[in-house]
């Protein structure tokens, strides 16, 4: 993977404590926190603490400990949010076509209302 990580991205700054966040859960390798502009009643971002740009970068380059910690943290966040009954959506955007705003891999977990279909093609160009 030839991804170049920008250590000045906003999530790197959150991880360094330079910007506050509403933490839902923090573990050795993972941070889960509330999105600043929530698109649903519950909108949590789960990020690895390591310098990974996108989902595929993380999957390819992260250690097994980081990957297990990340996935187990996602499960705990879902439990904290209580999504088992009504469900949720997990999304990750990557790169230009994925319209990724922050170049630090993050999983969006959205819940708390019906979320519509996965893609609104009216927004595709």
Smallest gap from Cβ 64 to ligand 5GP, in A, equals: 25
State the binding string over 66-105 for ligand 5GP (x if CB under 6 A, else -).
Answer: ---------------------------x-----xxxx---
Of 27, 26, 51, 24, the residue nearest 35 (C-alpha):
24
Residue 125 to residue 110: CA distance in whole angstroms: 24
Beta carbons within 10 angstroms of residue 22's beta carbon: 10
Q: How far apart are CA 55 and CA 2, in angstroms?
A: 13
Whether 106 sits among the annotated catalytic residues: the reply is: yes
First to last CA, the chain: 28
Binding letters toward ligand 5GP, positions 14-53, x by CB under 6 A: -----x-x-----------xxxxx----------------
Binding-site ranges for ligand 5GP (CB under 6 A): 10, 19, 21, 33-37, 93, 99-102
């Amino acid at each position: 993977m030839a991804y170049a990580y920008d250590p000045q991205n906003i999530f790197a700054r959150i991880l360094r404590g330079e910007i506050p966040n509403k933490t839902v859960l923090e573990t050795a390798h993972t941070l889960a926190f509330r999105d600043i502009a929530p698109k649903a009643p519950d909108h949590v971002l789960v990020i690895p603490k390591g310098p990974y740009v996108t989902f595929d970068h993380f999957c390819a380059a992260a250690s097994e400990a980081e990957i297990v910690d990340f996935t187990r943290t996602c499960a705990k966040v879902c439990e904290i949010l209580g999504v088992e009954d009504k469900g949720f959506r997990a999304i990750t955007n990557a790169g230009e076509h994925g319209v990724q705003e922050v170049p630090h891999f993050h999983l969006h977990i959205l819940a708390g209302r019906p979320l519509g279909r996965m893609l609104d093609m009216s927004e595709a160009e």
